[in-house]
Chains A and B, each alone.
Chain A
């Protein structure tokens, strides 16, 4: 075959000599995709055991989900918390990124480091620390408390995404607007903001998913009527594994995929870079 003997890269290696590489890469991608894909058929199984392939198709686990007040309430809590996290983290993070970028103070680097800490601190430590604080602040099991904690996790991501968009943006355009009489705020809203809007969309989506998928902190600070979907799923996984979870997982996969599609459409277009 011609293709096999052709050169595959600059090192002059032939495709034949690295067929193993193609096979390995395909296996690794299969490994990465398999779990997400397998959950979907599982959720349509008629069996209550985790058999694969499913003996018969049925919607009973979806019916179970729809008819369970606890699961529906948890879904509502998770969606509310995620939307509120977007509403808190995106503006605060954007303000921070813009402020630190435009002030050009040396102190800004230090602040950046403090703001990045939540990503690298083990979640369990944040979880128990926030729990300890919330007991005293009377924020335990409240939506407010959950949203504040999730916003802290989402903030660094927003700051990073918006900062990197600002780096590739020419701030002089704002100066031009101001020299023509616009106030600083007006110049920001009319000149800068439209140019970093894709970064803002990306940041908002990432904030949503950060909150929606978060387990460990939710485990400590959400509860009662404000239990999140992930908290309930985690508890269910530890005791009885029930295909209802496959149905809920499928719902979550659909939500994530929709967001990913949004991200591909709006978030990754040219960011002025």
Chain B
């Protein structure tokens, strides 16, 4: 043994490694729970989606998704609705996050309560509230007609309009919170420098601030889009049966036909689309920043 080396170095190393694995073992109960309750059953459905109704293996259920134009329309509608919701959220959420990020902290925190309140209110409660607000004799139509903005009650609910309003309302905090966090982190000296060098406010915003807020915006928009793809409750209630997104189609298929293979195929495609979107987004933006906005 060389002088100065630990007398029992291999033993200590073994102990250290053993301890690290023991610590790692602390995560096993959670892992077991997620595996048994979620991963194995989803894997099971995945396998079922390749079993035809007569028990043979094949892509029958996937062929059906392609052959029946109804499914194509549902996927297209899901994409359109998710994209529209994301765009509206960006248009409304970006200016709000921008302003909040410039207000003094106490005032910004006060305004944040407005953003967090819906976040903490049940989705069903909010969906119900929109039903009340948007119906033909609802508050929105009453006010609109009283002020002469429109003459006839508008059909704001039980259609695409209602669905979009409800979805934007649910998703807006998911955009504003991460965006606000990333905007707060932008060094204001860059803007001072731009102004100092003669940039007009608008030029300084577009050339300096906006690009710096890009990653936060992209992360927020991605999370909004992905969560929209799987929406079920809002289209089911505020869409009044006229708006069918993939999740609604999954639920209808199970309730009406009880065909696990066909329904699973639909669910698997939805999951793949979600993963694909996530993979595309992760090439543009660091994925852990997606979760970064949860703690304001």
Contact = CB atoms under 8 A, between A and B. Distances in A.
B239 to A, nearest CB: 11
Contacts of A125: 42, 45, 230, 250, 267, 270-271
B40 A133 contact: yes
B117 A36 contact: yes
A233 interface: yes
B131 A103 contact: no
B34 A114 contact: yes
B34 A115 contact: yes
Given A10-B191, A35-B118, A99-B24, A128 B254 contact: yes
Interface string B20-35: 1101111101110111
Contact of B137 (A51, A95, A148): A51
A176 interface: no
Given A122-B230, A126-B42, A105 B115 contact: no
B120 A32 contact: no
B184 interface: no
A192 interface: no
B122 A213 contact: yes
Interface string A159-202: 11100100000000000000000001000000000000000001
A146 B74 CA distance: 30
A237 B128 contact: yes
Given A10-B189, A96-B29, 19 more contacts: A11-B205, A12-B195, A25-B100, A28-B93, A29-B114, A36-B126, A52-B132, A99-B26, A102-B23, A114-B34, A115-B27, A120-B226, A122-B267, A124-B230, A124-B251, A125-B271, A128-B264, A234-B233, A237-B124
Given A34-B133, A114-B39, A253 B121 contact: yes
Interface string B125-144: 11111111101011100100
Contacts of A107: 24
Contacts, number: 280
Interface in B238-258: 246-247, 250-251, 254
Main secondary structure on B side of the interface with A: helix
B45 A132 contact: yes
Interface range on chain B (Cβ under 8 Å from partner): 35 or more
Given A11-B191, A129-B44, A212-B122, A164 B295 contact: yes
B294 to A, nearest CB: 7
A152 interface: yes
B52 interface: no
Contact of B102 (A9, A42, A118, A233): A9
A4 interface: no
A117 B30 CA distance: 13
A76 interface: no
Nearest to B132: A50
B188 interface: yes
B173 interface: yes
B237 to A, nearest CB: 5
Nearest to B236: A238
Contact of B274 (A49, A93, A118, A120): A120
Interface string A132-160: 11000000000000001101100101011
A234 B19 CA distance: 49
B64 interface: no
B206 to A, nearest CB: 10
A63 interface: no
A160 to B, nearest CB: 6
Given A35-B118, A38-B139, A95 B26 contact: yes
